[in-house]
Chains A and B, each alone.
Chain A
Amino acid sequence: GQSLEQPSEVTAVEGAIVQINCTYQTSGFYGLSWYQQHDGGAPTFLSYNALDGLEETGRFSSFLSRSDSYGYLLLQELQMKDSASYFCAVKGGSARQLTFGSGTQLTVLP
């Protein structure tokens, strides 16, 4: 099966940079995704890494190291609206389904 670990909570101040780490175990790996979820809302897709390296999308970047079974989401120039839960999700296993981590609650302070 698949399993993922990420920190449960992270706190940072507005304008700062924060990194949310994710380690995973899977029997077959196809990619690592990141999703954002605001309280009471639906998860929304942020990024996807299938190959090693950094993917940049505006203020958000995502990194993958397949040899270390590790990835991270980097949020720059933090804004109050970035306060949300962030989930990493691995595409893996024989069914190639998305398995989500338990989520990291990011709190951005003024």
Chain B
Amino acid sequence: IAGITQAPTSQILAAGRRMTLRCTQDMRHNAMYWYRQDLGLGLRLIHYSNTAGTTGKGEVPDGYSVSRANTDDFPLTLASAVPSQTSVYFCASSRDRGTEAFFGQGTRLTVV
């Protein structure tokens, strides 16, 4: 693994199903983030974690949950997917909160 890795790269999901997007980084960064990107709306912060064991809510947290059990992993869970959660999801990490962020390649999620 080099940098930050997301899985899956794309997914089609039936509405109402549960889904976990995976994110792993090997840079020993303290802070990690989940953003969603929708056309014309830029990147919107869903949840963040400044250090392992802590998480916080971003701009659009409803319908999503995260955990940060260790430094490397920061999974994002959709408990019951809805079509409005169709988006491209980016995981990112940075050495410390608010510093230069490194992004994964994204997960394209379609909820039908």
A71 close to chain B: CB less than 8 A: no
Q: Give A51 to B44 CA distance when docked, in angstroms.
A: 25
CB distance A97 to B101 under 8 Å? no
Q: Give A101 to B42 CA distance when docked, in angstroms.
A: 6
Q: Give A71 to B45 CA distance when docked, in angstroms.
A: 21
A30 close to chain B: CB less than 8 A: yes
Chain B positions 72-112 with a Cβ under 8 Å from a chain A Cβ: 90, 92, 97-106
Q: Which residues of A contact B35 (CB under 8 A)?
A: 100
Q: Give A1 to B33 CA distance when docked, in angstroms.
A: 18
Q: Give A57 to B102 CA distance when docked, in angstroms.
A: 18
Task: Using C-beta atoms within 8 Å of the partner chain, give the interface range for chain A.
Answer: 20 to 34
Min Cβ gap A26→B in Å is 11
CB distance A98 to B103 under 8 Å? no
Beyond A48-B100, A97-B58, 13 extra complex contacts between A and B, CB < 8 Å: A33-B101, A42-B90, A43-B90, A44-B103, A45-B100, A48-B99, A91-B99, A97-B33, A97-B56, A98-B45, A100-B42, A100-B44, A102-B42
A residues lining the B interface (CB < 8 Å): 1, 8, 30-31, 33, 35, 41-45, 48, 87, 89, 91, 95-103
B residues lining the A interface (CB < 8 Å): 33, 35, 40-45, 48, 56, 58-59, 90, 92, 97-106
Q: Across chains A and B, which 8 residue pairs bring their CB atoms closest together, nearest first? A: A91-B98, A102-B42, A42-B103, A100-B43, A96-B98, A45-B100, A100-B42, A103-B42
